[in-house]
């Protein structure tokens, strides 16, 4: 069983938009204290892009503020990331993650080590 499945990645020109989706199975979605999107570019570490906690409080990396929006659809156990005004530096593999341990929320949902469920990733490529 795959608990988190991302979709929606692809290739787009700079200035364009994409919407990533993360379909989650019942357990990680309903028990998560945090859900987030992370990304990893070639040769770089995994970084947080945006996260949302169980009270729907959202937070964004400075590099994407004002351009990306994270949201949840509780009726369909789905997490979204709307990405607008994409830049070449947004090129990366994007991962959906869920944190079912309380520690995630204690540390503000921003630490990847607090997330215990991960998707396989979806590639986003932005050409300039």
pLDDT < 50 regions, the chain? none
Phi and psi of 46, rounded to 5°?
-75, 130
Q: Burial, 43: exposed, middle or buried (Cβ in 10 Å; 0-12, 13-18, 19+)?
A: exposed
User: What is the model's pLDDT at position 70?
Assistant: 98
Per-residue pLDDT, 1: 67
Q: Give pLDDT, residue 101.
A: 87
What's the confidence (pLDDT) of residue 99? 95
Contact between 22 and 79 under an 8 Å Cβ cutoff? The reply is yes
């Amino acid at each position: 069983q795959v608990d988190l499945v991302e979709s929606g990645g692809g290739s787009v020109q700079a200035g364009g938009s994409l919407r990533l989706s993360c379909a989650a199975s019942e357990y990680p979605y309903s028990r998560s204290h945090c859900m987030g999107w992370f990304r990893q570019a070639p040769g770089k570490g995994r970084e947080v892009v945006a996260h949302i906690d169980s009270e729907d409080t959202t937070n964004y990396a400075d590099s994407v503020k004002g351009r990306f929006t994270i949201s949840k659809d509780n009726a369909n156990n789905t997490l979204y990331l709307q990405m607008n005004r994409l830049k070449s530096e947004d090129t990366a593999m994007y991962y959906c993650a869920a944190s079912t341990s309380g520690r995630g929320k204690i540390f503000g949902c921003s630490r990847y080590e607090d997330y215990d469920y991960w998707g396989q990733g979806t590639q986003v490529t932005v050409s300039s």
